[in-house]
């Protein structure tokens, strides 16, 4: 389970960095590597990052817990 948490967080960070590059430089790294937004590869990458974000919702109680 810990490995899945780490993979999820890495994907979310990479997705966030991609959005940063879109917002600041108007450059979509994922779109450049895998094709336009309507290409299958790009949609798969965006979907995997989105699923990682949904999974990260499970991590919120663990992070919010005071130890």
Cα three-residue angle 12-4-58, rounded to 5 degrees: 70
Q: What is the dihedral of CA 30, 31, 35, 38, to 10 degrees?
A: 120
- pTM for the full predicted model: 0.78
Instruction: Give 6-63 pLDDT, tens digit per residue.
Output: 899 999 999 999 999 999 999 999 989 888 878 898 899 999 999 999 998 888 887 7
d(CA 65, CA 67): 6
The domain spans of the chain are: 2-64
Strand segments, DSSP code E, in 1-67 are none
The residues, any chain, with a CB within 8 Å of residue 53's CB and separated by 6 or more, are 8, 12, 15
The answer to whether the beta carbons of residues 19 and 26 sit under 8 Å apart is: no
């Amino acid at each position: 389970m810990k490995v899945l948490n780490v993979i999820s967080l890495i994907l979310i960070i990479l997705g966030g960095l991609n959005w940063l590059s879109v917002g600041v430089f108007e450059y979509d790294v994922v779109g450049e590597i895998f094709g336009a937004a309507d290409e299958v590869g790009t949609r798969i990458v965006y979907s995997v990052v989105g699923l990682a974000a949904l999974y990260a919702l499970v991590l919120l109680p663990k992070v919010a817990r005071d130890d």
